Amino acid sequence: MPEYDLCFSASATDDAATFKLLELPPELAQLIDTTVQNSSVTFTVKGQPNEDAVLCTQDKTYTLRSVALSNSVLVVTAPSSGSSIDNVNGGEPAVIRDELHEILELLPTVPRLHRLIGLLRGREYDESDETSYSDSQKNPNFYSYQDAKSEIQASDTELERGLKEKRILIINGFLRPISKDYLQNLLEIVLNLLVSLALPHDKVPLDDLVSTLTEDHEVPRTVSIQLMAWFGEIGESEGKWKMDVGAVLKEVGIGILRQHRRDPVAKEAFIAKWKKAVGDTFESSIDLNLLSGNYLVSTTDGKDLLTYFPSAELPVDPAQRFTDLFLARARWKGDDIAPFLLEIALNSKERDKLLLKYCRAITDAQGIWYTSRTQYTG
């Protein structure tokens, strides 16, 4: 075993607390092992002064958590070049630079995209938008895509997916959430065009559809292309668009349901409106399960009534989210509450932990119900 002569660095006082020990989970250690030989790997730490820091890889986000060590760990390096430190007892000289009493632990977490909603409020894009792209570059009120990449606590892949799921356009480098009513109108136009032009939904000529939207409906090409990417796959080599029928029907259904936040609608009447909006070609694909996590069901006089209740608008803090859920409904079946936890639970294991922490499980003839551990009135 090699022997070392230890001594304190002359800069030990200045170096104190400048070193951090990071424990890598197995998947990150493997990532480094497999990429270091062939390519570089980049980790980015993100967080504002009032936020807990996270570490992002290309496609995942991890919470950084400090864990105290029972034994201190010394940070030891070789002497700097030109140092006067010599061997004393025949061992290699080594310099103590710092003493660590904690390590940083990495835990997988959901991307923290909720901040985007506040940053982009009031910046919606719709058919009445008259702001030119050159004016957008000069407008300090717009939030850029590059700013989002550096500030939002999410990996690049998760950010891209979040922009798609939240229907946020990138126009001239700036982020513009599309108006919900405008999006609803555009999708209904697209469905009508597929029928009127006799275009197969799984092999739509992209240029024909985009040109028609531009010439007949004044939809900018950049908006049309992003819309196509949100709701299907674009085959650039063959110039075709394959529409994701389920995604389009879901968005149209949510648009109709949005009108019933306070005024419940009978299930049968809602389904009829939904079918009329999507047309005969797609009405057979209508399925209420497409809208899970966006509505509540109540029963009056033997009729099922639907009320708009979107998971995306619930608080991201678990305690506050469960408070809102149990104010809306006193008890939940597991399958009913699960869609409302997707944005705060990384997987089913994390979801079960949340249910265990914030709920009581009660079993009756109908199965298992979850009720609140805290009594709410409202």
Structure-model confidence comparison of residues 94 and 123, the more confident one: 123
Does 132 score more than 50 pLDDT? no
- β-strands 44-46, 54-56: how paired? antiparallel
Least confident of 97-101, 204-208, 253-257: 97-101
Joined together, the tokens standing for residue 211 give 């040109």
Backbone angles phi, psi at 180, to 5 degrees: -60, -40
pLDDT, residue 20, reads 86
Mean pLDDT score, 350-369: 93
Dist. CA 108–CA 88, nearest whole Å: 47
Q: Where are the beta strands (DSSP E) in the chain?
A: 4-8, 22-23, 44-46, 54-56, 61-77, 92-109, 143-144, 168-171, 174-177, 204-205, 232-235, 240-243, 265-266, 295-300, 303-308, 331-333, 359-364, 367-372
Residue type at 190?
V
Which residues does residue 170 pair with via DSSP β-bridges, in sequence order? 175
pTM (predicted TM-score): 0.85
Phi-psi region of 80 (alpha: psi -120 to 50; beta: other; left: phi over 0): beta
Nearest CA to 277 out of 304, 292, 296, 258 is that of 258
Nearest CA to 250 out of 165, 376, 365 is that of 165
Does 270 score more than 50 pLDDT? yes
Q: Give the model confidence (pLDDT) of 24-78 as tens digits.
A: 999 998 888 887 666 778 899 999 888 899 999 999 999 999 999 888 888 888 8
CB 248 within 8 A of CB 231: yes
pLDDT, residue 135, reads 47
Mean pLDDT score, 345-369: 93
pLDDT, residue 374, reads 77
pLDDT band at 19 (very low <50, low <70, confident <90, very high): confident
Backbone angles phi, psi at 218, to 5 degrees: 55, 40
Q: Give the model confidence (pLDDT) of 279-320 as tens digits.
A: 999 999 999 999 999 999 999 988 999 999 999 999 999 999
| 3-state SS assignment for residue 58 | coil
Dist. CA 227–CA 81, nearest whole Å: 59
pLDDT, residue 375, reads 61
Residue type at 70?
S
pLDDT, residue 34, reads 81
pLDDT band at 88 (very low <50, low <70, confident <90, very high): low
- The residues, any chain, with a CB within 8 Å of residue 95's CB and separated by 6 or more, are 6, 7, 8, 9, 76, 77, 78, 79, 80, 83, 85
- The residues, any chain, with a CB within 8 Å of residue 335's CB and separated by 6 or more, are none
Does 117 score more than 80 pLDDT? yes
Q: Give the model confidence (pLDDT) of 328-342 as tens digits.
A: 999 999 999 999 999
| DSSP for 176-236, written as a single string | EEBPHHHHHHHHHHHHHHHHHTT--TTSEEHHHHHHHHHHHH---HHHHHHHHHHTEEEET
